[in-house]
């Protein structure tokens, strides 16, 4: 079964063709990062306009690279939310039009579910149940996953998402946008021990996260350096900040794995492409006798192949959306 996935929730216009919820025949991602960089973050109105320009060629390219026409597609999966509503509506309207014109089934998919299921695009996949750490620019949460569509939320961030913290700290340091990649690159040359930053654990029994205190600590350090005319140790700060985020993510994920007695852990979302996080989670899991599954970095950041996987799993269970399918901005309970 061939699913055409369409994703436009934030600043990437993406389309992919995936076979049987597993094999990527094509995955095209058009990034708008150059458009938003000069503003230091995503400008929603500009994002919507860029999606309009990109959606048709991106979908066409995905079909072409997969070597199929719409006649060969069995269903269309599209991101319904959460995300920027103006952006989501472009993908949604495009998918609805294709579905109506071609009589193809339409499946609305949660962007988060897409990230969570992105691991099924890899050869080595986990058996249920497992703990999934979802860390992106909009979300940071831990889930107990019992099957392809059964997730139990264990905890989530009370303020900033992990990726958002990377982006905000990069902005504070004047390093540009997006922050994750820049900070992780700088951190390779820094010493994480030189600057002491807080780890918000909240409470021992909670699986919630908090990253705003860490961000404030970085801001205070920057102010201290400025007021005292001290040079800013960019590399050490990047390394210390990254280590503080990674410590908390790994700590809570391992606690959840032990408490729920699972043998497998999955990490997903843009932050899961972070090298240090992959390494630290791998080491902690090995120590605990738990296996870690993390998709290739290109599948951690936003893409439409993961949307096709989530669509496939829902379609397989007989779930189809109507043409009245609407976008939603916030995560659904
Ligand atoms: O999953 P994603 O592409 O989009 C959302 O659904 O939000 O995640 C984007 C987020 C951004 O905040 C970006 O700074 C972060 O993931 N990110 C990283 C890295 N690459 C991307 N964070 C830390 N280290 C990275 N290497
Ligand atoms: Zn995402």
Does 330 fall in a domain? no
CA-167 nearest atom, ligand 1: 14
Domain count for the chain: 2
Residues 148 and 251 in one domain: yes
In the prediction, which pLDDT does 26 show?
98
CATH number of the domain residue 105 falls in: 3.30.420.40
Q: Which residues contact 271 (CB under 8 A, 6 or more apart)?
A: 135, 136, 140, 162, 163, 166, 180, 245, 249, 277, 300
Does 333 fall in a domain? no
Residues 199 and 251 in one domain: yes
CA-12 nearest atom, ligand 1: 3
CA-83 nearest atom, ligand 1: 6
Does 326 fall in a domain? no
Residues 80 and 188 in one domain: no
Q: Which residues surround ligand 2, an ion (CB under 5 A)?
A: 136, 302
Residues 10 and 95 in one domain: yes
Ligand 1 — pocket residues by CB below 6 A?
A: 10, 136-138, 163-164, 166-167, 178-181, 184, 269-271, 273-274, 301-302
Does 324 fall in a domain? no
Q: What is this structure's pTM? A: 0.95
Does 228 fall in a domain? yes
Residues 90 and 141 in one domain: no
Residues 145 and 281 in one domain: yes
| Alpha carbon of 163 to ligand 1 centroid (Å) | 5
Residues 286 and 224 in one domain: yes
Residues 85 and 208 in one domain: no
| pLDDT under 70: residue ranges of the chain | 331-333
| Alpha carbon of 195 to ligand 2 centroid (Å) | 30
Residues 17 and 135 in one domain: no
For the CA of 269, the nearest ligand:
1
CA-163 nearest atom, ligand 1: 12
Residues 130 and 145 in one domain: yes
**Residue ID of nearest Cα to ligand 1 atom 1:** 270
**Residue ID of nearest Cα to ligand 1 atom 8:** 270
In the prediction, which pLDDT does 331 show?
66
Residues 61 and 152 in one domain: no
Does 320 fall in a domain? no
| Alpha carbon of 322 to ligand 1 centroid (Å) | 32
**Residue ID of nearest Cα to ligand 1 atom 10:** 137
| Alpha carbon of 88 to ligand 2 centroid (Å) | 12
CA-276 nearest atom, ligand 1: 24
Does 217 fall in a domain? yes
Q: Which domain holds residue 162?
A: 125-294
**Residue ID of nearest Cα to ligand 1 atom 23:** 180
| Alpha carbon of 113 to ligand 2 centroid (Å) | 10
| Alpha carbon of 67 to ligand 1 centroid (Å) | 30
For the CA of 170, the nearest ligand:
1
CA-115 nearest atom, ligand 1: 1
Does 250 fall in a domain? yes
Residues 216 and 255 in one domain: yes
């Amino acid at each position: 079964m061939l699913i055409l996935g369409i994703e436009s929730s934030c600043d990437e216009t993406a389309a992919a063709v995936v076979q049987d919820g597993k094999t990527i025949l094509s995955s095209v991602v058009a990034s708008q990062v150059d458009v938003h960089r000069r503003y230091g973050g995503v400008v929603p109105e500009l994002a919507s306009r860029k999606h309009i320009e990109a959606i048709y060629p991106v979908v066409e390219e995905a079909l072409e690279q997969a070597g199929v026409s719409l006649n060969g597609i069995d269903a269309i999966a599209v991101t319904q939310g959460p995300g920027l509503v103006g952006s989501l509506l472009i993908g949604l309207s495009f998918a609805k039009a294709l579905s109506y014109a071609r009589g193809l089934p339409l499946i609305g998919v949660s962007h988060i579910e897409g990230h969570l299921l992105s691991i099924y695009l890899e050869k080595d996949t986990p058996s249920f149940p497992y703990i999934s750490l979802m860390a992106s620019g909009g979300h940071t949460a831990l889930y107990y996953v019992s099957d392809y569509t059964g997730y139990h939320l264990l905890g989530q961030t009370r303020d900033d998402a992990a990726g958002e913290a990377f982006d905000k700290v990069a902005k504070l340091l004047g390093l540009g946008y997006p922050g994750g990649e820049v900070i992780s690159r700088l951190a390779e040359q820094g010493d994480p021990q030189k600057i002491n930053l807080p780890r918000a654990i909240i409470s021992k029994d909670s699986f919630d996260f908090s990253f705003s205190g860490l961000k404030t600590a970085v801001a205070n350090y920057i102010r201290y350096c400025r007021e005292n005319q001290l040079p800013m140790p960019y590399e050490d700060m990047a390394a210390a900040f990254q280590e503080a985020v990674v410590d908390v993510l790994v700590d809570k994920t391992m606690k959840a794995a032990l408490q729920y007695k699972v043998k497998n852990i999955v990490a997903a979302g843009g932050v899961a492409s972070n090298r240090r996080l992959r390494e630290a989670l791998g080491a902690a899991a090995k120590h605990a006798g738990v296996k870690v599954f993390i998709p290739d970095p290109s599948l951690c950041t936003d893409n439409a192949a993961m949307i096709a996987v989530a669509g496939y799993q829902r379609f397989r269970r007989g779930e189809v959306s109507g043409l009245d399918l609407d976008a939603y901005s916030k995560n659904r309970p």
